[in-house]
C-alpha cells in the first residue's frame, strides 16, 4: 500500500514482482511449477485473451505472459480493502453485472480505451472459477470485446484447477499448463463466435486436465 502514490506503470511493476514472488513460493513450498504452450501465438501489442478460469492462479498468470494486462473483474471485488484500491490504481476493467445491457456497453467501451493504449485485456468468459470437468455457460461479455475491439481475441486453456482448487487451501505439486490457442476468426456473429470459443477452450482444457491427471494424479 505504501506504493500507491507511484505512477500506474510503477505500481503495475510492483504487482508483477508480487506475482513472481508468489510463483516462486508455489515452486519452493508446494512443488508447483508451470509451463506455457503456444507462447509464439501471443500477439504483440493490444489483444483480448479469453481464458478458462479454474483457480486463483489464473488471476496472476498474465502478469508473467504479457506486458501490461487489464483484467475484467466484477465491481464487488473493488470493495475489498486494499485489493480494490490496487485494482483501480492499475486501471483494471470493472463491470457492474447488475447493470444488464449497460454493463456490456460499458465493458466494450472500456476495453476499447484500454486496447487503444496497446495494453492487453484478460477476460474469463464464464465469469467465475469453474472446477475441472464442470460446465458453465459462456457469458456475452466476451463477445462485446470481440465485436468492437479491433484487436485479436485469443482463447486460452489451462488445467490450474487440478493443483489449486477454487475452494481449497491445499496446493498440489506438479506442473500447471497454460496453452495459448489460435486467435478467433473475424466477422462471426454472437452465437457462432461463442460456440466456437467455448468449443476451443473446453476441448483444450479437458485435454490438459486429462494429461495432468495421468501424469501427476494416477496414484
The predicted model scores a pTM of: 0.92
pLDDT at 180 over 90: yes
Containing H/E element for 179? strand 174-180
Between CA 48 and CA 115 the distance in angstroms is 8
* Contacts for 29 with CB less than 8 Å, ≥ 6 apart: none
pLDDT of 166 higher than 90: no
Q: Dihedral, CA atoms, 182, 133, 178, 89, nearest 10 degrees? A: 100
pLDDT band at 101 (very low <50, low <70, confident <90, very high): confident
Q: Are 172 and 162 in contact (CB under 8 A)?
A: yes
Question: 71 pLDDT band (50/70/90 cuts)?
Answer: very high
Are 153 and 183 within 8 A, CB to CB?
yes
DSSP assignment, residue 43?
Answer: P
Query: How high is the pLDDT of residue 2?
Result: 72
**C-alpha grid cell for residue 152?**
485479436
**Cβ 198 vs Cβ 185: under 8 Å:** no
> Average pLDDT of 35-50?
96
Is the confidence at residue 77, as pLDDT, over 90? no
CA dist., res. 39 & res. 177, Å (int): 12
Amino acid at each position: 500500500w505504501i506504493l500507491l502514490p507511484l505512477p500506474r506503470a510503477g505500481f503495475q511493476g510492483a504487482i508483477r514482482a508480487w506475482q513472481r514472488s508468489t510463483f516462486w513460493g508455489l515452486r519452493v513450498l508446494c512443488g508447483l511449477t508451470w509451463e506455457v504452450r503456444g507462447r509464439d501465438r501471443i500477439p504483440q501489442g493490444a489483444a483480448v485473451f479469453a481464458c478458462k478460469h479454474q483457480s486463483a492462479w489464473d488471476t496472476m498468470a498474465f502478469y508473467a505472459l504479457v506486458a501490461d494486462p487489464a483484467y475484467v473483474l466484477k465491481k464487488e471485488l473493488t470493495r475489498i480493502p486494499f485489493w480494490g484500491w490496487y485494482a483501480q490504481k492499475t486501471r483494471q476493467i470493472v463491470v457492474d453485472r447488475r447493470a444488464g445491457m449497460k454493463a456490456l456497453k460499458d465493458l466494450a467501451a472500456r476495453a476499447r480505451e484500454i486496447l487503444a493504449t496497446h495494453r492487453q485485456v484478460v477476460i474469463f468468459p464464464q465469469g467465475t472459477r469453474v472446477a475441472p470437468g464442470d460446465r458453465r455457460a459462456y457469458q456475452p461479455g466476451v463477445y462485446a470485446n470481440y465485436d468492437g475491439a479491433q484487436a485479436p481475441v485469443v482463447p486460452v486453456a489451462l488445467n490450474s484447477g487440478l493443483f489449486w482448487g477454487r475452494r481449497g487451501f491445499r496446493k498440489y505439486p506438479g506442473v500447471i499448463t497454460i496453452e495459448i490457442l489460435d486467435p478467433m476468426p473475424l466477422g462471426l456473429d454472437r452465437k457462432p463466435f461463442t460456440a466456437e470459443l467455448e468449443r476451443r477452450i473446453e476441448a483444450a482444457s479437458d485435454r490438459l486436465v486429462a494429461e495432468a491427471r495421468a501424469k501427476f494424479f494416477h496414484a
